[in-house]
Structure 1
Amino acid sequence: MTLSLTVHGAAQTVTGSCHELRAGKSRILLDCGLFQGSRSLEALNHEPLPFDIAGLDAVVLGHAHIDHSGQLPRLSAAGYKGAIWCTEETAELLQFMLADAGRIQEYEAERRNRRRDRAGDDPFEPIYTEADAIAAARLARVVKLGEWFEPAPGFRCRLWNAGHILGSASIEVEAEGTRLLYSGDLGPDNKAFHADPDAPTGFDHVICESTYGDRSRTKVSIAERRQLLEAEILAARTRGGNLVIPAFALERTQELLLDIATLSSAGRIGNAMVFVDSPLANRATTAFRKYADELEDTGGRDVFGHPSIRYVNDVAESMKLNTMSGAIIMAASGMCEAGRIRHHLFYNLPRRDSTILFVGFQAEGSLGRVILDGAKRVRISGRDVQVRAQVREIDSYSAHADQAELLAWIAKRGPIAGSLLLDHGEKESIAELRRLAESQSLAPSLVVPEIGETWELPPGQPARRTKTGRVDLRPALGRDWQNDYADLATSLKRRLAEIRDAEARRKAIAQMRAVLDSYSEFREHKKGKHH
């Protein structure tokens, strides 16, 4: 028998990580994450799970981010009772990360069903509940880094520090004579809190993430990064409005708090107050405090209890922040797709004196990416919002290795006897990383899998594809028609107003209706031919 891999997510996209390994009668998953980004991509979360839960033996989880763990509650809801193997820190984080994801699913379903533009549509159902999420978190089984364990008959695994977030790990797998390494998400060198990524050498196959495969960041020290943040805070205070920072609740928020506390203690940002408006981030911060002795760069200080930091949990208190000026407001989600950040954007994007500061990766099709790419108007919860605020970016807070660091990590894992498989990246990132990996002869074979593909992973030989992927998903990877619709809808009234003659405006509207009608007639014609 040969070890086989079926890719269920994070292939030519950066979310939905889920890889199924089969050895004989045993099957395990490496990660089981939610898709995030465009509405078309998120719709995949509502499809039936693409694997048989009844025959699933175990899940090995790299880290607690929702794009790697967020489908786990669907497993528990469907009756899965097996183990979810992970580090102690990841198990701790899952308790509230998954519960929060369940609450968000329930809230988002209720909110969408209340929207006027969905009147008459079928009710929108959450993909799982908070109760499902709590049940999934209880399945966590802790294993130490570097310690062998057997998640299923025929499989041996070890976890290695990935340097990405608290508890993150790369996963080493031995099965059917094949030695495989799954990178998971890799952190950059010299990242705050964590040691650099590490793993053994000499594998048959390596699956490596490619998030920043097409770019190398300017190398900055933590001190230099703080200088960049200081400059943005002071500039925002000079403008007079709020500084709104969309930040991932886990890791990114805590890194920012470390730097803000350090700057404030040194008197470099005046009396700036930061409000952490994310109950999830606040709970994640308690986990960082729990493992404080294991964290680097804190100098033994409780940086999270600094007097300049206030933690907001109450909804009413959160809403009051929209009446303020001069505040630093940090809220999740990092790509602006859900959570309290959306109402802060709703109130601050139209303000010329406010600043929106992005400090993390914005996936193609996400609201954060649309804003960062320079949109003049955006849609938030079905409402048009004009973008007048200053939009800024610091890319030095990334929790992902950049191009040079990815190539160095791959080279250190060598020699690779079979294939290097590149996943967890958008098409352009993967294409460039593949080109460079080929030019450096990092593996005899390079593979870029698609969602739905199955590959045999024989020992010492290149991977062999045995099942093609879902070509129907290609349009969903990146911007989709709903992104285009939101862009059109937010600019439509302005574009019509630019037509000075009223009769010409009516003619333009009639022409747009005629185009839509022509597609409806075409669809009805096709239906008739099939009956």
Structure 2
Amino acid sequence: MEIEFYGATGRITGSCHIVRINGRQVLLDCGLVQGRPEEEALNREDFPFDPRAIDAVVLSHGHIDHSGRLPLLVKRGFRGPVYTHPATRDLALVLLQDSARLNERDTNYENRIRQKKKQPLIDPLYSTEDVVGTINLMQGLRYGVKKEILPGVVLRFQDAGHILGSAMVELWLSENGRVKKVVFSGDVGQYDTPILYDPSEIADADAVIVESTYGDRLHKEKEQTLQELAGIIGSASHEKGNILVPAFSIGRSQELLYLFGKYAKEWGLERWQIFLDSPMAIEASRIYWDYPELYDEEATKLRRRIHEMPKPSNLRFTRHSSESKEINAIEHGAIIIAGSGMCNGGRIIYHLKHNISRPECHVLITGYQAAGTLGRKLVERAETVRILGETFRVEAALHTVGGLSAHADQRDLLRWLKGFVTAPHMYVVHGEQQVKQHFSAFLQRELGLQASVPEPGEIVRL
């Protein structure tokens, strides 16, 4: 029995690893590579394995860097089951259909250029039909339920507390009378995050594949974050500007709406027009409300009292592009939550174009920004940025609100890993290279565990 590491090793995105046992192969995640254009071009390359030889896929959660190449896997011959949480199956349909539409649009644009240059045309990475075929292969498995998915392979999901339906993966592997347990963290959420439960504790494993997105830093305390948000809203109100919030459609958008609803009076939000300008986030919010059994104690009490999740009374959903364009005529008093979360596409691009050079406006960065994205340039305080082919000076006030991240920081990761009573080997993935090295050394120093940073294609025998 062995693990071979692929994606999220040489880079942070594109989560993908293989577990081999009894002549069978189980794929852990199958995500898109995100970031610079040359990195995203890797998504078109052949898989480093035969998709037809994969017996089953285990999907930790719906985010595109974990699920986004699944339709391509199916397009290239995979026909086995995809095990995931039922909520992830629902969210994946929304995310993957959006991914397919964006890819078809980008491919059409690229082919117009290629036609003029008399170069060969390219096909989209996958179609919406491929997405439907992928969703049809998904089998829902709820938290805490053990299931034998292949001979000698037993699977159980635990709540990762990252987004709705996000799961840590427990695999019991039996071969020739030996049993080994592998745990894959997926993406670990912060403790005490609104709406969702804290990450589940797992006591034993022989090997743990652990993410390290924020393995070298600490987020702000929750109370500090709430005070910071209140201060930003107050400043923007005084300066008569708009507030732009690039937000991931699943997780971050719902958390922001929850906080805006809970603190609407305290933060003076009744004076604002609040827009959720993302059809995908609107649909994801509907799915969130369909799974009340996954809410933590506070969210459950609020839902019972008001029969829905709290949200601002002056919130407007803008599904259509014509409604989105109308927002750009608003010069002050608008809070605009829109995708994409890394500012590398979506409607937030157009709002940034109209507001980024206005000193009275504010931009709230609420999540991880991959290298090469517009969001990363903003975080790094670039003086000018390119948006839709034009150059703009960055005059708006920029705020990185780390306390809203859906990812655990170093302290949260350590808290979760301290739950193991055994001493598993830690394989550190899903982080920038220097962060993975830092976190690996940190685990060896703080917990006395063996920890290593696997290379792409590295094979570990259990």
Quote the residue 1:276 is aligned against.
Answer: 276
Residues 170 and 199 of structure 1 are in contact (CA less than 8 Å); yes or no, is this contact kept in structure 2?
no
What amino acid is aligned across from residue 128 of structure 1 in structure 2?
Y
Using the size of structure 1 for normalisation, the TM-score is: 0.81
Residues 260 and 312 of structure 2 are in contact (CA less than 8 Å); yes or no, is this contact kept in structure 1?
no
Residues 160 and 169 of structure 1 are in contact (CA less than 8 Å); yes or no, is this contact kept in structure 2?
yes
Question: Alpha carbons of 1:218 and 1:171: their partners in 2 closer, same or farther (altered >3 Å)?
Answer: same
Quote the residue 2:345 is aligned against.
Answer: 338
CA distance in 2, matches of 1:379, 1:304: 37
In structure 2, the residue corresponding to 1:157 is in which secondary structure?
Answer: strand
Residues 95 and 134 of structure 1 are in contact (CA less than 8 Å); yes or no, is this contact kept in structure 2?
yes
Unaligned 5+ segments in structure 2 are none
CA distance in 2, matches of 1:156, 1:116: 49
Quote the residue 1:310 is aligned against.
Answer: 316
Quote the residue 2:36 is aligned against.
Answer: 38
Question: How is 1:86-235 mapped onto 2 (pairs within 5 angstroms)?
Answer: 86-113=84-111, 122-175=120-173, 176=175, 177-221=179-223, 224-235=224-235
C-alpha deviation, 1:433, in angstroms: 1.1
**Matched residue count:** 451
Question: Alpha carbons of 1:46 and 1:116: their partners in 2 closer, same or farther (altered >3 Å)?
Answer: closer
Quote the residue 1:58 is aligned against.
Answer: 56
Which of 54, 62, 71 is residue 73 of structure 1 equivalent to? 71
The higher radius of gyration belongs to 1
1:264 aligns with 2:270: no
Quote the residue 1:481 is aligned against.
Answer: none
1:391 aligns with 2:398: yes
1:251 aligns with 2:256: no
Question: Alpha carbons of 1:57 and 1:282: their partners in 2 closer, same or farther (altered >3 Å)?
Answer: same
1:323 aligns with 2:329: yes
CA distance in 1, matches of 2:139, 2:92: 11
C-alpha deviation, 1:121, in angstroms: 5.4
What amino acid is aligned across from residue 27 of structure 2 in structure 1?
L
CA distance in 1, matches of 2:93, 2:412: 32
* 1:365-412 Cα distance to aligned partner (Å, 9 max, x none): 221011110111222333323222221121110111111111221221
C-alpha deviation, 1:170, in angstroms: 0.5
Which of 355, 359, 371 is residue 352 of structure 1 equivalent to? 359
CA distance in 2, matches of 1:428, 1:76: 34
1:450 aligns with 2:448: no
CA distance in 2, matches of 1:353, 1:57: 55
Which of 13, 16, 32 is residue 15 of structure 1 equivalent to? 13
In structure 2, the residue corresponding to 1:75 is in which secondary structure?
Answer: helix
CA distance in 2, matches of 1:269, 1:117: 50
Residues 3 and 19 of structure 2 are in contact (CA less than 8 Å); yes or no, is this contact kept in structure 1?
yes
Using the size of structure 2 for normalisation, the TM-score is: 0.93
What amino acid is aligned across from residue 362 of structure 1 in structure 2?
Q
Question: How is 1:295-306 mapped onto 2 (pairs within 5 angstroms)?
Answer: 295-296=295-296, 297-298=298-299, 299-300=302-303, 301=306, 302-303=308-309, 306=312
C-alpha deviation, 1:102, in angstroms: 0.9
In structure 1, the residue corresponding to 2:264 is in which secondary structure?
Answer: helix
Residues 105 and 128 of structure 1 are in contact (CA less than 8 Å); yes or no, is this contact kept in structure 2?
yes
Question: Alpha carbons of 1:80 and 1:12: their partners in 2 closer, same or farther (altered >3 Å)?
Answer: closer
More displaced stretch, 445-454 vs 183-192: 445-454
In structure 1, the residue corresponding to 2:182 is in which secondary structure?
Answer: strand
CA distance in 2, matches of 1:60, 1:251: 21
Quote the residue 1:437 is aligned against.
Answer: 443
Question: How is 1:397-412 mapped onto 2 (pairs within 5 angstroms)?
Answer: 397-412=404-419
CA distance in 1, matches of 2:80, 2:112: 37
What amino acid is aligned across from residue 314 of structure 1 in structure 2?
H
Residues 257 and 311 of structure 2 are in contact (CA less than 8 Å); yes or no, is this contact kept in structure 1?
no
**Identity in percent:** 35
In structure 1, the residue corresponding to 2:326 is in which secondary structure?
Answer: helix
Residues 414 and 442 of structure 1 are in contact (CA less than 8 Å); yes or no, is this contact kept in structure 2?
no
What amino acid is aligned across from residue 139 of structure 2 in structure 1?
R
Question: Alpha carbons of 1:438 and 1:66: their partners in 2 closer, same or farther (altered >3 Å)?
Answer: same
Residues 114 and 120 of structure 2 are in contact (CA less than 8 Å); yes or no, is this contact kept in structure 1?
no
Quote the residue 1:421 is aligned against.
Answer: 427
Residues 234 and 269 of structure 1 are in contact (CA less than 8 Å); yes or no, is this contact kept in structure 2?
no
Quote the residue 1:467 is aligned against.
Answer: none
C-alpha deviation, 1:284, in angstroms: 0.2
More displaced stretch, 162-171 vs 423-432: 423-432
Give 4+ residue runs of structure 1 displaced > 6 Å after superposition.
115-118
CA distance in 2, matches of 1:293, 1:173: 24
Residues 234 and 267 of structure 2 are in contact (CA less than 8 Å); yes or no, is this contact kept in structure 1?
no
C-alpha deviation, 1:237, in angstroms: 2.3
CA distance in 1, matches of 2:121, 2:364: 36
In structure 1, the residue corresponding to 2:271 is in which secondary structure?
Answer: coil
Question: Alpha carbons of 1:111 and 1:348: their partners in 2 closer, same or farther (altered >3 Å)?
Answer: farther
Question: Alpha carbons of 1:105 and 1:191: their partners in 2 closer, same or farther (altered >3 Å)?
Answer: same
Supply the RMSD in Å over aligned alpha carbons: 2.0
Question: Alpha carbons of 1:303 and 1:148: their partners in 2 closer, same or farther (altered >3 Å)?
Answer: closer
* 1:61-95 Cα distance to aligned partner (Å, 9 max, x none): 11111111111111222232211101111112112
Residues 115 and 382 of structure 1 are in contact (CA less than 8 Å); yes or no, is this contact kept in structure 2?
no
C-alpha deviation, 1:7, in angstroms: 1.4
CA distance in 1, matches of 2:357, 2:215: 34
Question: Alpha carbons of 1:37 and 1:235: their partners in 2 closer, same or farther (altered >3 Å)?
Answer: same
CA distance in 1, matches of 2:94, 2:348: 19
In structure 1, the residue corresponding to 2:207 is in which secondary structure?
Answer: strand
More displaced stretch, 338-347 vs 166-175: 338-347
Residues 162 and 185 of structure 1 are in contact (CA less than 8 Å); yes or no, is this contact kept in structure 2?
yes
What amino acid is aligned across from residue 381 of structure 2 in structure 1?
G
Question: Alpha carbons of 1:271 and 1:197: their partners in 2 closer, same or farther (altered >3 Å)?
Answer: same
* 1:218-237 Cα distance to aligned partner (Å, 9 max, x none): 3224xx53332121122122
What amino acid is aligned across from residue 56 of structure 1 in structure 2?
I
Quote the residue 1:511 is aligned against.
Answer: none
